Structure 1
Amino acid sequence: MGFIESTKRIDSVIKYQKPKKEIITIGKVITVDGDMILEEHSPTELYPVYIVDEYPEFKETTSKLSKEENKKQFQSQLNQFVKNNFKKTVVDSLELIVKQKIYVDFEITNTGNIIIKRTRAYYPELEKEAERVLKKLPKLMPARKDGKAVSVSYILPIIFNIEE
C-alpha cells in the first residue's frame, strides 16, 4: 500500500499544462503551440544539399527530372567540369605514388553563386588547384525548397587514382 499512496501524492502535485514543444531545425528553434507550427525559410539560411526539394542545376540541365535524376545529373556535370578543368600538370609535378583525395566544402547561394568555405588535401598545391577549378564554375540555378531558392552546402570529394 505504501507504493500506491506515494503515487497518489505525486499525482496530486502535478498540474496539467498544455505542452509547448521546441523543434530544432537547421539553424533555428521553432516553438510549437498545440498542432500549429509556424516556420519561414530565410533566403540566407544554409541547408545541407540532401534535404532540399530540387538540387542546384547547371543552366543546360534537362528540366522535368525526378529528384534522384536531378541529383545524379548535377553530380555528373560537376564531376565532369572538375575533370575537364583540373590541371594534370599539378598532379604530375608532385610525383605522387598513392591515391590522393581533396575535399572542397562550398556553398551554392540562393542566387547560384559559389562560395568556397574550406579545402582539405595532403598537398597545399592540390588544395589551390581545386579552389581554382571551383572558382571557374559558371553561375548555377540555385537549389529549391518549398518552391523558394535556397542556399545549400556541398562537399565535393576529388579523388586521383595514381597509375604507373
Structure 2
Amino acid sequence: MELKKNPKADLTKNSGLYFVIGLALVLFVTWRGIEWKQYDKTEYDIQALNVDDDLDEEIPITELKAPPPPPPPPAAPEVIEVVEDEEEVEETVIESTETNQDEVIVEVEDVEVVEEEEDVDVPFAVIEDVPVFPGCENAKNKRDCFNKQMQKHIRKNFRYPEIAQELGIQGRVSVLFTIDKDGSITNIRMRGPDKNLEAEALRIIKKLPKMTPGRQRGRAVRVPFSIPITFKLQ
C-alpha cells in the first residue's frame, strides 16, 4: 500500500521565500546597528548663556573738543581824527624844450672818434706783414726767410729724449704757438704720441728769440703759427 503525501502538508514549499525574508531582516537589523548613535546627556547652565550682562557693559564716550574760536577783530578807534588839508603843495613847473628865435645856438666843435684797438688774431698765411725772425730784416721774401730760420732753430736745438729712445717711441708732434703784438712767444700748445716728445718740443719752442711782430693794416697783431716736429729713430 503506497503512502500518499498531502501537497498542503509540504514544508519545503515556501522555504525560499522565508529565506529571503529572513535575510532581509538580518541586513536591516545589521544596518540599524551600524547607524545607531548615542549622545551623552550634558546639562547646560542657562545663566552662563545669558549675554544681557555683557551687553550692559558701559562704553566710555569720547568727547570731541571743539577748536578754539578765532581771535576777535581789533577794536575800532573810539575817536577818528580829521586832518584838514591845509598844507601847500609846490607845483612842478615843466619848462618847454621848444627853441625860441631869440635864443642863440652855440655850435659844438667836431668830436674826435677814437678807434679802439681790438685784439685780432691774423693767421700767418694771410697776414700782410709777417713777423720778422731775427736775421730776416733785410730779406726780400720775409715769409720764406721766417720758415727757413724756424727749421734751422729746430735742428740746432733738437735733442731726442733718452727715455723715448729706450722705449722706441717716435712720431710727429704738432706745435701751435702765437707771436704776440710785442714779438714774444705765447700760448704754446702741443699734441703728440708721447709726453716726453711733447716736452722736448715745448723746450725747443721756448728757446725761440723775440721777433718783430706781424702787422695788419699798419697795426701790430697777434699771429698764430703752427709747425710739426718729427721724432724718428735712426
TM-score by length of 1: 0.64
Higher relative contact order (CA 8 A, sep 6+): 1
Size of the aligned set, in residue pairs, is 119
Deviations 1:22-76 (A, max 9, x none): xxxxxxxxxxxxxxxxxx78363211111111211122214252xxx22111011
Unaligned runs of 5+ in 1: 1-39
CA distance in 1 between partners of 2:213 and 2:135 (Å)? 13
Structure of larger gyration radius: 2
- Counterpart of 1:76? 148
Unaligned runs of 5+ in 2: 1-114
- Change in 2 beyond 3 A, CA 1:92/1:42: farther
Confirm or deny that 1:114 pairs with 2:185.
Answer: yes
TM-score by length of 2: 0.46
The residue identity in structure 2 corresponding to 1:152 is V
- Structure with the largest fraction of strand: 1
Question: Contact between 2:197 and 2:231, CA under 8 Å: does it hold in 1?
Answer: no
CA distance in 1 between partners of 2:150 and 2:116 (Å)? 27
Confirm or deny that 1:87 pairs with 2:159.
Answer: yes
Confirm or deny that 1:56 pairs with 2:127.
Answer: no
Runs of 4+ in 1 over 3 A off after TM superposition: 40-43
CA RMSD in angstroms, aligned pairs only: 2.1
CA distance in 2 between partners of 1:115 and 1:160 (Å)? 23
Paired-residue identity, %: 29
Question: Contact between 1:113 and 1:140, CA under 8 Å: does it hold in 2?
Answer: yes
1:139-158 to 2 correspondence within 5 Å?
139-158=210-229
